[in-house]
Amino acid sequence: MTLTGSPQRLGFLGELLSDPTVEEIIVIGGHRTFVVRNGIKELVPIIADTPTLRRFADQLLAGTGRRLDLSSPIVSAQLADGSRVHITGPPVTHPDRLNIQIRKFVVTATGLDELVDRDTLTPASAALLRRAMHQDLSVVVAGAPGAGKTTLVNCLLREVPPDRRVVTCEEVFEIDADLPDMTQMQTREAGLDGGAEITLRDLVREALRQRPDRIVVGEVRGPEALDMLMALNAGCSGIATLHANSARDALEKLVSYSVLAGQNVAIPFVRRTVAAVVDLVVFLRRTGRARSVEEIAYVPEQLSGEVFTLQPLFEMAPSGLRWTGTSPDDHRLESGTWSP
Q: Is 20 inside any structural domain?
A: yes
Residue 122 domain-assigned (yes or no): yes
Judge whether 333 lies within some domain. no
Say whether both 97 and 117 belong to one domain. no
Specify the DSSP class assigned to residue 62: T
Identify whether residues 290 and 176 lie together within a single domain: yes
Query: How many Å apart are CA 106 and CA 20, to the nearest integer?
Result: 8
Contacts of 75 (CB under 8 A, 6+ apart): 57, 61, 66, 67, 68, 85, 86, 87, 88, 189
Closest CA to 159 of 183, 142, 177, 182: 177
Q: Note whether residue 254 is domain-resident.
A: yes
Whether residues 142 and 288 share a domain: the answer is yes
d(CA 316, CA 8): 48
Q: What's the domain range around 282?
A: 112-327
The CATH number linked to 80 is 3.30.450.90
Please indicate, yes or no, whether residues 259 and 228 belong to a single structural domain of this protein.
Answer: yes
Q: What is the pTM of this model?
A: 0.83
- Domain count of the fold of the chain: 2
* Exposure on the CB side of residue 195, measured as CA atoms within 13 A: 11
* End-of-domain residue from the set 85, 103, 121: 103
Is position 290 within any domain? Answer: yes
Measured distance CA(274)–CA(220) in Å, rounded: 14
**10 with 44, same domain?**
yes
- Contact 128/313 with Cβ under 8 angstroms? yes
CA dihedral 224, 225, 226, 227 (to 10 degrees): 50
Q: In whole angstroms, what is the distance from residue 186 CA to residue 170 CA?
A: 5
Written as tens digits, the pLDDT of the chain (340 aa) is: 444 433 357 888 888 988 888 889 999 987 899 998 877 889 999 988 888 898 899 989 887 778 888 878 888 888 887 788 999 998 889 888 899 999 886 656 789 999 999 999 999 999 999 999 999 999 999 999 888 999 999 999 999 999 999 999 998 888 988 899 999 999 887 765 556 789 999 999 999 999 999 999 999 999 999 999 999 999 899 999 999 999 999 999 999 999 999 888 999 999 999 999 999 999 999 876 678 999 999 999 887 778 899 999 999 999 889 999 999 999 999 877 888 7
Of 40, 68, 103, the last residue of a domain is 103
CA distance 68 to 45: 26
Q: State whether 75 and 34 are in the same domain.
A: yes
Write down the pLDDT at residue 3: 47
CATH number of the domain that 176 lies in? 3.40.50.300
Q: Is 8 helix (H, G, I), strand (E, B) or coil?
A: coil
Same domain, 130 and 257: yes
Q: Find out whether 168 and 183 touch, Cβ atoms under 8 Å.
A: yes
- d(C-alpha 46, C-alpha 63), whole Å: 27
Omega into 91 within 30° of 0, i.e. cis? yes
Residues 71 and 172 in one domain: no
The reply to whether 38 and 156 lie within a common domain is no
Q: Do 269 and 122 belong together in one domain?
A: yes
Q: What is the pLDDT of residue 302?
A: 86
Domain assignment present for 335: no
Query: How far is Cα 159 from Cα 180, in angstroms, rounded to an integer?
Result: 12
Q: How far apart are CA 92 and CA 267, in angstroms?
A: 33
State whether 99 and 117 are in the same domain: no
On whether the CB atoms of residues 219 and 241 are closer than 8 A, the answer is yes
**DSSP H/E element including 51:** helix 50-61
Domain stops at, among 103, 127, 161: 103
Instruction: Say if 322 falls within a structural domain.
Output: yes
Q: Give the integer Cα–Cα distance in Å for 61 and 76.
A: 9
> Residues 49, 158: one domain?
no
